[in-house]
Chains A and B, each alone.
Chain A
Amino acid sequence: MKRKTLTFIGILLACIVFFGALYAVSRLVAPKYHTSPLEGHLTGEYYEEKTAHDVLFVGDCEVFSNISPVTLYNEYGITSFIRGSAQQLTWQSYYLLEDALLTETPKVVVFNVLALKYGEPQSEAYNRMTLDGMRLNASKIRAIRASMTEGEDFMSYLFPLLRYHDRIDKLTGEDFAYWFTSGEPVSFKGYLLRTEVRPATDMPTETYDPKLPESSMEWLGRMADLCEEKGIALVLMKSPSIYPKWYPEWDETVAAFANARGLRYDNMIAENDVIGIDMQTDTCDMGQHLNVYGAEKLSRFYGAVLQKTYQLPDHRGEAAYDADYAALSERYETEKNLRRSEGN
């Protein structure tokens, strides 16, 4: 009996050491996204938030590049966060929203509509950047199942070692520095700050299907249902980036959907002059994404629209928020000045 007990304890200890080592190695080899590509760090940063938000932005690169929550707060006292990632697909936005609504209920959710053009999973690398940082719950599991491309397997999302084990010979200092810590955020409440100025030029023309995929429109419908169920105002927005192109037929489809569901739809491309966006100075990559100057202009404009339309409270002067945003604004300005001085 004694021997059996000792054997059992021995095996148990061996298993504990084994799983501990696996966990450590798994964390080591998983990409940290602290230097590049930063987009992979965005999803996880949401969970570091300590205060609630009035507005949640969801969508692809057109939200995390074009909207500055710091400006929204400093100008209007609007608290917000961007749950956006590179090529974040509509169903991923849905599940990230579903995940966020488990812990908070914002007044407004703004969904950037560009991703509606994708009706199928696109790329494993982008899936990873969006989903790896998501906390493990039913929403994540459903998001993984909806997003996997051919050749991907579900288990590797739950156990990153199965996906990233081949990084063992590609480890860098970053992997060791952020082995057991997520480190400082790389974004400003989901916003990726860029100061480069690369004026818009003629972009290549592309063929397109005038009809938006039915599947992505269905996911949009589910997002509208979810917001309706929670009493949240869903706003559809097309940010003012001029490439990839947003075609009139798509615009009409989204406008018709918004009309049918009683939602607000703002196509900002038409408002560029009113906002004051100059695609010669306010874009960091030839019209695809706004730089910080363009993002601040858009945020000033849109903040006013949102506050007026949805009577969003001004949280400035509230100690909890002021403390949070003061530190954030300081880091934001420092980073902006630093990047500007470095010519980036």
Chain B
Amino acid sequence: MLFPSWAFLLFLAVLVPVYYLVPKRIQWIVLLLFNAVFVCFAGLLGAVFMAVTVASVYAATRAFDALFTRQRETLAAMKTTHTKEERKKTRLQFEKKRRLILVACLVLNFGILFALKYGAMLGRLSAGLFGGKPFGQDLALTMGISFYTFSTVGYLLDVYRETVPAERNPLKLALFTSFFPLLVQGPITRFETVGKALTAPHAFDGKRFLSASLRIAWGYWKKLIVADRLLVAVKALCARPNVYYGDFIFMEMLLYAACLYADFTGGIDITIGVGEMLGIRIEENFNRPYFSKSISEYWRRWHITLGEWFKRYVYYPLSVSKPMRDLSKATRRFGAGVSRRVPVYLATLLVWALTGAWHGSNLTFLVWGLLNGVVILLSEECKPLYARFHKRFPKLGESAFYRGFAVIRTVLLLSSLRILDCYGTVKDAFSSFFSMFTTWNWGAVFRGGIQSLGLSYTDYAIALFGVLVMFALSMVQRKGTIRKRIMKRGAVFSVCVLLVLIGTILLFGRYGFGFDASQFIYNRF
């Protein structure tokens, strides 16, 4: 069920009144039923995988809970009768059991994700190496599995670390795992916030409903007017690297940057809006990312929840893990700086390799991830240089000109890295990227080139207008959310804004017969 489909709007139109009309204590059960419909609509196989995740994570977390209780009771009983060493041994035995359960659950859940994400690629690789028919070619990601696996595994790890208690009701865990707006393209949520909000009672609030409608409409606006329009040109540019090279690639970088932003943030706006409509607050996933002045800042403001997840569950534990500490010690003889850097660098590169791998099975994603890591580490290394520069030219560093330069530099840098996202092979991506510096063909771009990408001049004008609106609103957003300001001006004004958004979507959106109803770009990850 695509967000931009009548089926989804009908689904929402039925869910919202039913949700608020039933007694509050059973609201979450109604939501669970609707989630089940949504999941089954996307395919029964997906529902089975989701059920496996829920069952395994529920069983594991309950086992953790039981083991923690037993551990506490046993250690309390041993306090006066056993030595410290004996108590430590007992504690380690309990920890070992928990770790075994954790590893089994992680292997199962990441195994499913891995098989679906990489099965077809491994099949082709195996056939290439050993001959025969490639296996697993019909394996494909099921609806939302990359997102709900991470969210649910996050909960598993939280319970394992005793930072959140284990949920006793498996249906509540199922509700958290299957919450439908999150299945399209995230964000990756935490059980202690969204999971709890999902089961809490919610009363209808007209103002909140209107505010949520505004957010949903704005999401559709970005998706249907800007993203789906630009995607036509981006696809055309990526499909023929032999034809579109040189300055076309610069154009592709900019178009893809705008397209991906409109697509991903548009989808998240719809997700958060739908959650808000049901009284459930979902974490923000963006904070005006294209105004970042460095790549590391950008990654703190783009797909925030994925970055947070990796930081919380991979980067920090890995950085302070025993092997890393040992490695740090082993490299002390090369100097304190090296000893300090090695674990950080290794953890950073591993996290970025995993981030790349999360995005897809293609080698391009792995290279993209690692390059992001390398750029971030290089920036870290260059910090003393920057500091010296700013010390020498203190006024320049604070000027709007320099800030603008830093923002543009970051956008161009991340757009260059994203070229890897556009092509099927690393070779195509690199040769296309470097052709920008060897071929000067702006003439070809403007003499028929841009017209050959499947968009009319009107389409470009509408897309440009859309991008300018997004940019202007992002500028205004620095001083607080625009929705709050709109809502402050009263219901009539808010409704007028909503109707203008809907009207422009209906008139200028790319939808209906003759247009591919495109899924969100991040849905494929």
Contacts and interface: CB of A to CB of B under 8 A. Distances in A.
A29 B447 CA distance: 30
Interface stretch (A150-158, A172-180, A230-238, A260-268): A150-158
A21 B499 CA distance: 11
B491 A156 contact: no
A161 B512 CA distance: 10
B507 A162 contact: no
A163 B512 contact: yes
A151 B515 CA distance: 9
A165 B503 contact: no
Contacts of A124: 513
Given A153-B6, A161-B506, A165-B508, A14 B513 contact: no
A238 B14 CA distance: 50
B207 to A, nearest CB: 11
Contacts of A14: 492, 495-496, 499
A259 interface: no
Interface in B61-110: none
A163 B511 CA distance: 8
Contacts of A151: 513
Nearest to A153: B6
Contact of B507 (A152, A163, A165): A165
A21 B502 CA distance: 12
B513 A7 contact: no
Main secondary structure on B side of the interface with A: helix
Nearest to B499: A18
A163 B492 CA distance: 30
Given A11-B491, A156-B513, A162-B512, A25 B458 contact: no
A156 B503 contact: no
B490 A7 contact: yes
B507 A161 contact: yes
Contacts of A152: 513
A7 B496 CA distance: 12
A169 B456 contact: yes
Contact of A163 (B499, B509, B513): B513
B514 interface: yes
Nearest to B7: A153
Interface residues of B, number: 21
A152 B510 CA distance: 14
Interface string B489-525: 0111001100100110011111111110000000000
Contact of A168 (B502, B508, B511, B515): B508
Contacts of A153: 6, 512-513
Contacts of B515: 166
Contacts, number: 52
A89 B513 CA distance: 20
Interface residues of A, number: 22
Interface string A257-284: 0000000000000000000000000000
A165 B509 contact: yes
A152 B517 CA distance: 11
Contact of A25 (B507, B511, B514): B507
A156 B507 contact: no
B492 A10 contact: yes
Given A153-B6, A168-B508, A21 B513 contact: no
A305 interface: no
Contacts of A326: none
A22 B495 contact: no
Interface in A33-62: none
A163 B514 CA distance: 9
B507 A168 contact: yes
A11 B506 CA distance: 20
A7 B512 contact: no
Interface string B480-496: 00000000001110011
Contacts of B491: 7, 10-11
Contacts of B509: 165
A156 B512 contact: yes
A168 B507 CA distance: 8
A13 B120 CA distance: 56
Given A11-B495, A18-B502, A168-B507, 8 more contacts: A7-B492, A22-B503, A124-B513, A153-B6, A156-B513, A162-B511, A166-B512, A166-B514
19 contacts: A7-B490, A10-B491, A11-B495, A14-B492, A14-B495, A14-B496, A15-B495, A15-B499, A22-B503, A153-B6, A153-B513, A161-B506, A162-B512, A163-B512, A166-B514, A166-B515, A168-B507, A168-B508, A169-B456
Interface of B: 6, 456, 458, 490-492, 495-496, 499, 502-503, 506-515
